[in-house]
Amino acid sequence: MTATIPPNQLASQYDPFSTEARWQAYWEENAVFKADPNHPGEPYCVVIPPPNVTGSLHMGHAFEEAIIDTLVRYHRMKGRNTLWLPGTDHASIAVSALLDVQFKKEGTNRFELGRDQYLERAWQWKEASGGTITNQLRKLGVSVDWSRERFTMDEGMSKAVLETFTRLYDEGLIYRGEYLVNWCPASQSAVSDLEVDQQEVKGHLWYLRYPLSDDSGFIEVATTRPETMLGDTAVAVNPNDQRYRHLIGKTVTLPIMGRQIPIIADEYTDLELGSGAVKITPAHDPNDFEVGKRHNLPFINILNKDGSLNEKAGPFAGQDRFVARKNVIQRLDAEGFLVKVEDHVHNVPYSERGKVPIEPFLSTQWFVKIRPLADRALQELDEHQSPLFVPERWTKVYRDWLVKLEDWCISRQLWWGHQIPAWYAISETEGKITDSTPFVVARSAAEAREKAWAQFGSDVVLEQDPDVLDTWFSSGIWPCSTLGWPEQTQDFSTYYPTTTLVTGFDIIFFWVARMTMMCSHLTGKMPFQTVYIHGLVRDENNQKMSKSKNNGIDPLILIQKYGTDALRYTLVREVVGAGQDIRLEYNRKTDESASVEASRNFANKLWNASRFVLINLDSQILPSPEESSLELSDRWILSRFNRVAQQTNRFMNTYGLGEAAKSLYEFIWGDFCDWYIELVKPRLNGEDQTSRATAQATLYHVLDGILKLLHPYMPHITEEIWHTLTQAGEDKSLALQAYPEAAEKWINPALESQFDLLIETIRTLRNLRADSDIKPSQKITAILKTESEAERETLEAGQRYIRDLARVESLSIQGGSRSLDEKVANTSTEVPTVDPKPESPQQQLPTKLVSPVLIAISALALTVLLLVGSLSLLDVINAVPLLRSFFELVGAGYTAWFGYRYLLFTANRKELSSRVQTFKERVVGERSTESEDSSVTRQEIVDGLGEDLKQTAAGVAGTVQVLIPLAGVVDLRALKGKLQKDITKLEGSVKALEGRLSNQGYVEKAPPEVVQKSRDELAEMRKQVEILQERLAKLE
RNA sequence: GGGCGGUUAGCUCAGCGGUAGAGCGCCUGCCUUACAAGCAGGAUGUCACUGGUUCGAAUCCAGUAUCGCCCACCA
């Protein structure tokens, strides 16, 4: 498995496709993620939110699995005893609907087929296509333990379901009874409250008048479902309603049906609404059901299971509910009972799966008595903050729901699922299951027989309840049943309770709450410590992705285009802490996504950085860098590395996956690639073997750490590179290596800020060069000058770095550091050093007169020193003999001039200028013997060495002055404009700071360190303004 | 009707009391022997609005607007 391609033959573009497939196969074949209960470390267990076995992978899965896998891989590398358990659920209603469609095509239906044949076909279907979703999960690179894969209808889980049902029944927490349920006429089954969606529809409000039975007039009622009047058994008014008080107790004659129904008083009736009187249909409306119970009204069911009206509907029997609605209205209108019709927008409950309006329907069903279970969950929440929700705000949502929760209808009139383990003694009720047929609940048919014999004698005839359980009943025990419960297996004792449940907010009620209620009741322990709730992945228009809108974005298409790591990284980096919805950029015409492409580019960047490291290593295995030989840049990257390791760990421990992903990106690209690799290049090609070896070791060490840090986010590419880098054998996987911990001793903020100054200095130089029209290939000499002791030290410490970078940037840089000044001073006895505070150089530089000769000598000495310094230090210059290098001579000239003008003093310019003239002549002389391009530029520069030579481009970094000669035909006005703009901007900041510091309140009340910081900043900015103004003046 | 979340650069989003940030896009210059899926540099903001608290508010509080989500039995 280990990559054996020589590093210099690695492709310059990363190919995620073959790589990802290879490592996915490797992980699975080698059972890298197989959990071992005996593994040391604190257990870390996640059970997968089981996708529907019918399903195929959508973006929501990709998002969720990416989050889980990142967490799981992280904790595995942290040494936890890790298990991520995969599986699917049987999705009772979804599969039934799917099979119904299939059978309809074949011209049959489930009732014709019969239960056994139906189930046989269902299982065939499951075997054939149930693997789709799990194979797609594999393409995400999920680090699950496939050996522990479960299905909610497999043997063990079915056993757990039986155990749960019988136990809850024995405890009186499951009961059978006749209640109003949500009936889906499409699937012809009851559904739970949660499986009902309210949809706003434009309907009508029909006003009807019911004649009082004593012919003394009418009472007016309004309804949105007029056909239900056929089942009315009362009219209710509010007891405090003066208008109707006298009618209470009287009866009305129900139109069409002709039966007399009472006018009753009930607080439920709203005085303000409609006519103030409301028709009561106890068998077809949840409120009316309650009213009916309170007043002992008859319950008249007018509906069949398929949504048509039954014989209780009189003349409308057999008609579909919506056909009947029209006909009832027509009849009422014809007979003068319809008062008026208004347009009316209202919410209609729809069956989530069946996509048709549900009917409140009176039927006998199985229910879970929810209060004792919900109260227990509430107690866990209130007393033990269990489970802990992340983000915290979901706690309230969860809690509120538990508080108002009502009994849960768990029976479904379907066949695919767990058949309810209740056996009816049908011999007691003439061979039929009726509402009053006695039954026994048992774990098996044999046990049922035993129980029934004891109760009804051995001639009892038993029939199992035909209904199945709500899918969520089995999903509700997923965390315990998948781990072996009710058996006390080693897995169960080790990994239960699980650590974290990761899921979407839409599933808190469906699943999370049911797990907390059921599992805690059954095992005495909450099923997980933490619930991490993520947002939704929205489409490019910020729309929720849904089948009906057909706006889903197929993760597999993006994976094919950019690779799994790229998609995963994109999704995870968008997570950030808050659990917000994320929007995925996507172009439907081209199937492209800019944000996933950016992640793909990041993978490629890492690939190429690694290629660079590999190419530049001598041997594959390197020891850690020798501490004593570490250079500034080495220490800097090590400091940054350890800081980012610290951040990553911190973020991951608080579910800040997005922040962690972003900080890694910035470190890898912005620090490691952009700076460290660049400045290490000269060392790798240089003569200094110690420096070279140190750079190599540091590169190796940091890259190795980067791969480990990034592995949970981009598992495939990191595994690939890591094997090549370390030459680890097949027995090793990066996924099982220890995650880097931050070594605090390497984190050095002072050094990092030193480095920031250097970076800023370089940036200033680059800008100056660009502004001065100096081509990248041209070598120039620049002068850095500072009056701050700290900055001077930084520049000195960074000299090597600056030189290295200068080489890369084709800059040759001379440092105006004290050590050089001292050397200058040592060359002549009386030469003053730099004035530390040249407020305005012209006036404030030392005015003490020194012999012109000495001045000249000093200037020359300085020049030579700098040149010699350059020679010994700069490879650039090695390439060309000293005096043959035209540009360096120019540089030398400039240096001399600068040295004269700014670094030394301004005493006798004339004298020096003659010396400079000498330089000029020599340079010109040299030039005539060499012909190089861009001679115009050179000519100008050379000319510029004389008296009309004044102009330099200047910038500041901190208060370090950066000066370079102007070259070529430069647009002075643009240059000045730029300077002026910088000054204006700075002056604005100065003003703001001055304002703040002159505010007594601020100075007195703000923390001293904040005030001091402001003072320092103000001082620096003022200095910068001065410097820039000075430079501006020089350009005039 | 209750509850929750969002409103910051052209786009997607971080930041959540001390001088406004990233990625993408855009502009300028570069095929520099890790990477053009790249390098260097650059421009861009009444931080939705109005008040308040504070020495200081994008950040905290109150309200408004607006977009979105969840829950809810109103005939």
* Tens digits of residue pLDDT in A602-630: 999 999 999 999 999 986 567 788 899 99
CA angle A986, A989, A991 (to 5 degrees): 110
- Model pLDDT for residues A674-707, shown as the tens digit of each residue: 999 988 998 898 889 999 999 999 999 999 999 9
Query: How far apart are alpha carbons A229 and A289 in whole angstroms?
Result: 14
Q: What average pLDDT score do residues A864-880 get? A: 27
Confidence of residue A249 (pLDDT cuts 50, 70, 90): very high
Q: Give me the pLDDT at residue A951, please.
A: 64
Instruction: Give the torsion through C-alpha atoms of A890, A892, A893, A899, to 10 deg.
Output: 150
Report the phi/psi class of residue A1002: left, alpha or beta, with left for phi > 0 and alpha for psi in -120 to 50: alpha
Distance CA A218, CA A209 (A): 6
Whether A876 shows a pLDDT value over 60: the answer reads: no
Residue A71 has which token pair? 């967490």
pLDDT above 90 for A816: no
Report pLDDT digits (tens) over A706-725.
Answer: 999 999 999 999 999 999 99
Categorize the per-residue pLDDT at A271 as very low, low, confident or very high, splitting at 50, 70 and 90: confident
Distances in Å between the Cα of A728 and the Cα atoms of A1, A2, A343, A722 are 9, 7, 74, 8
Which amino acid is it at A1000? Q
Subset of residues 775-814 in chain A with CB less than 7 angstroms from any atom in strand B:
776
At residue A870, the pLDDT reads 30
Percentage of the residues of chain A whose pLDDT score is greater than 90 = 54
Mean of per-residue pLDDT scores for chain A: 82
Cα separation, A568 vs A733, whole angstroms: 20
| Contact partners, residue A959, CB within 8 Å, separation at least 6 | A786, A787, A788, A791, A1020, A1023, A1024, A1027
* Residue linked to tokens 């950019």: A562
CA of A512 to C1' of B61 (A): 34
**Does any strand B atom come closer than 7 Å to the Cβ of A660?**
no
Closest nucleotide (C1' vs CA) to A205 is B75
DSSP-derived letter for residue A20 is H
CB < 7 A to strand B: residues 377-436, chain A: 393, 396-397, 401
Supply the DSSP string of A570-615, one letter for each residue: HHHHTTTTTT--EE---BTTTTB-HHHHHHHHHHHHHHHHHHHHHH
pLDDT per residue as tens digits for the range A341-354: 988 888 889 888 77
**A966 residue type, one letter:** L
Range of lowest pLDDT (A145-154, A529-538, A546-555, A943-952): A943-952
* Cα dihedral A236→A241→A247→A250 (10° resolution): 30
A218 sits within 7 Å of strand B by its CB: no
pLDDT (tens digit, 9 = 90+) per residue, A725-750?
999 998 999 999 999 999 999 999 88
**Cα dist. A268→A7, A78, A210, A272 in Å?**
80, 60, 20, 12
Residues 6+ apart with CB under 8 A from A816: A783, A784, A785, A786, A795, A834, A903
Chain A window 743-762: residues with CB closer than 7 Å to nucleic chain B are: 762
Give dist(CA A273, CA A335) in Å, integer: 26
Does A317 score more than 90 pLDDT?
Answer: yes
CB neighbourhood size of A855 (10 A): 24
Bridge pairing between strands A251-253 and A260-265: antiparallel
Q: What is the pTM of this model?
A: 0.87
Q: Which two tokens stand for residue A303?
A: 């509906």
Across the range A804-831, mean pLDDT stands at: 45
Give the CA A584 to C1' B46 distance in Å. 30
Element (H, E) at A963: strand A960-965
pLDDT of residue A887 exceeding 60:
no
Integer Cα distance of A937 and A769 in angstroms: 14
Angle at Cα A243 formed by Cα A239 and Cα A247, nearest 5°?
Answer: 70
pLDDT at A853: 34
Contact by Cβ (8 Å): A721, A606: yes
Which of A526, A363, A466 lies closest to A115 in space, CA to CA? A466
User: Which strand B bases fall within 7 angstroms of a protein CB?
Assistant: 3-6, 11-16, 18-19, 22-25, 29-30, 32, 34-42, 54-56, 69-75
pLDDT exceeds 60 at position A391: yes
Q: Please check the confidence at residue A132 and state whether its pLDDT lies above 70.
A: yes
CA dist A98 and A120 (Å) reads 15
Backbone region of residue A256 per phi and psi (left: phi > 0; alpha: psi in -120 to 50; beta: other values): left
A612 touches strand B (CB under 7 A): yes
> Taking the mean position of all CA atoms in its chain, how far away is CA A379?
32
**Over 70: is that where the pLDDT of A554 sits?**
yes
Are A511 and A481 contacting, i.e. CB atoms less than 8 angstroms apart? no
The pLDDT value given to residue A818: 41
Which residue, among A238, A243, A250, has the nearest Cα to A210 in the 3D structure? A250
CA A431, C1' B24: Å apart?
72
| pLDDT at residue A148, rounded to an integer | 98
> CA A676, CA A701: separation in Å to the nearest integer?
13
Q: CA(A650)–C1'(B47) in Å?
A: 28
**Which pLDDT value is given to residue A705?**
96
DSSP of A345-360? EEEEEEETTT-SB-EE
Compute the average pLDDT of residues A418-442: 95
Distance between CA atoms of residues A1036 and A1034, nearest Å:
5
How many Å apart are CA A600 and CA A598, to the nearest integer? Answer: 5
Q: Are A122 and A99 in contact (CB under 8 A)?
A: yes
How far is A703 from A617, CA to CA, in rounded Å?
12
- Could you give the percent of chain A with pLDDT greater than 70? 83
Cβ of residue A989 lies below 7 Å from strand B: yes
Tell me what the mean pLDDT of segment A653-678 comes to. Answer: 92
